[in-house]
Structure 1
Amino acid sequence: MLSKSNPIQIIQIVRCLFVILMITNSYGQNTTYGQFWNEIQFNQTLSKKWSTEIDLGTTYSSTESTSNIFENTIQRSLRGWAHYYYSSRWKFSTFLAYYNNKDVPEIGQFESPEWRFALQGIYYFHKTGYTLSTRMRTEFRHMRNQDDDYENVFRYRQQIKYLQPINSKILREGVIYAVASDEIYLKSGAKVTGESFFDRNRLNIGAGYLFTDDIQIELSYCNEYLPRNKGNQTTNAASLNISFNNLLRNLKKKIASKHNQEIKDEDQ
């Protein structure tokens, strides 16, 4: 069983892993890029078991000649999700997405439109005061290479994630939380993404804030290590995610409430 000191121990372990990763990446590293990732998520609850989600994403990047992280817009994406909550511990999801890749450093300086389909499962270790989860995702990627031919790439991702509210024991309106995760990517070989089986390692450390129970923002730092045939890459990225739950439903309720109040005021 996990002891009460585990949250502190986990944070210390994550810090040690981060230091080790930065040290190991400093040797034999060919190229380092700075990037900014932005994603807006719209979640809609359908029932106690089902929900949907639409994500809009944009990625900006520096180049080898400039450190400006907004120098190039290298990716835009649209992703549609379906989520099934099997139990309090298991959540199963699938998505279909379109990625407009252009000048992505890890792929190359060419346009590579991509269709992506994924199956995902998340298992939650619910603990008092924090949540530990592990995510398993299998992705099928259909993407165009520099010869204008489409290739199929299979990729498996395994993540472990730690989340702890700072000023409350649960996530709710007005709560700040800390989050840390590490994820490995394994893939099939392809001309467009390289032949290496190990695709990358992604370490993420950040914090979030819930403006309401249905609106939250999360800002984090991400370090990615990408071994490539033509030279390894490191990406240091700032990530900003904004999430809205039941936005249309809440707007309709607000408009209806305002309308009813106006009618009530007229009757007085």
Structure 2
Amino acid sequence: MRYSIYVLLLVCTTIVNSQTDNLNQFWNEYSFTKDLSQNWVVELDAGFTSSSTPEDKAVFHDITQTYLRGWAHYYPGDRWKMSIFYAYYSNKNVPELNQTEAPEWRSALQISYSLLKDYRIKVNLRFRLEDRHLHNDDGYFEAVERLRLQVKAVYPITDLKIHKGVLYSFAAEEVFFKTDSQVGGPENFDRNRLTLGLGYEFIKDFIVEASYNNEIMPRKDTNKFVNAVQVKLIFNNFLPDLIKSFHRTKKSVDEGNGGL
């Protein structure tokens, strides 16, 4: 409770003493996963962000970020998941950064814990420590550490469990803390993010999620308020399906050529 009051006071005080920019953004992500065993899963993500500017309110005014990210997930038990990733981000005119272009290499350690597992509603706690290396105007990559804490709830609407043909909802609250840097600014409290969304598994292992995200980024000179719509496409066990499809196509071609 004391921590929540501190964060609230910090945000409100900064807002009162600063100007504000209201930004509209669109986030798009494609996620491909592959089960290696009962305990190991690998994942590849790619996506982009488009954003308005204080001068132009169009959400697709400019593509500000593109990225490619590789994950490895380990499940040591029913409730725990440990993850690492390595990623490259192309940042260009990102509103919260202090320079026009800032290419970035990012790695992270993430730990997730299922707080409510045997109920219809699932509640997950997530801890992530990110090691960011952003290229600054002095010509070198500056290290920035960022801590992210998230609580997320998922609730199936049309059935007791999530599977093909089931609509589900999710909500998340996340706070970000960072070290000060030339590119990211001197603030240690980075942002607060609220997410509300819906997901649906259209066919086996293909899921679409759409969400609304609200971010508050207190800054010394100009605060940033972001309203973002995200569309995420998830392809689970993508590689085996692709290989099966390739073999079926190859077999059809061979049969059409008389087996030559």
2:100 corresponds to which of 100, 110, 130: 110
Say if 1:94 and 1:87 are closer, same or farther in 2 by CA, change over 3 A. same
Cα gap change, 1:128/1:66 in structure 2, threshold over 3 Å: closer, same or farther? Answer: same
What does residue range 56-75 of structure 1 map to in structure 2 within 5 Å?
Answer: 56-75=46-65
* 1:84 equivalent in alignment to 2:57: no
Out of 88, 109, 113, the position equivalent to 1:123 is: 113
The answer to whether 1:39 aligns with 2:29 is yes
Q: CA deviation at 1:231?
A: 1.5
Mean Cα displacement is larger for which, 33-42 or 245-254? 245-254
Alignment RMSD (CA, Å) = 2.2
**AA at the equivalent of 1:90:** W
Q: Is the 8 A contact 1:91 1:121 kept in 2?
A: yes
- TM-superposed CA distance for 1:57, in Å, is 1.1
The question of whether the paired residues in 1 share the 8 Å contact of 2:98 and 2:182 is answered with no
Matched, 1:98 2:91: no
User: Which of 217, 220, 229 is the aligned partner of 1:229?
Assistant: 220
CA shift, 1:109, in A, is 4.7
Q: Is the CA contact (8 Å cut-off) linking 2:99 and 2:183 kept in structure 1?
A: no
Structure 1 unaligned residues grouped into runs of 5+: 1-19, 264-268
Paired residue for 2:4? none
Letter in structure 2 aligned against 1:76: T
Number of aligned residue pairs: give it.
Answer: 241
Percentage identity across paired residues of the two chains: 42
**Residue identity matched to 1:54:** L
- Provide, for residues 182-204 of structure 1, a one-character-per-residue CA deviation record: whole Å limited to 9, x for no partner: 00001111111111110000000
Name the amino acid aligned to 1:163.
Answer: V
Partners of 2:204 and 2:217 lie apart in 1 by 36
1:164 aligned residue: 155
In the TM superposition, residue 253 of structure 1 has moved relative to its aligned partner by 3.0
Cα distance between partner residues in 2 of 1:162 and 1:100: 31
TM-score, normalising length: structure 2: 0.87
Deviation (angstroms), 1:254: 4.5
1:239 is the counterpart of 2:230 = yes
**1:178 lines up with 2:178 in the alignment:** no
Q: Which moved more, 1:108-117 or 1:156-165?
A: 108-117
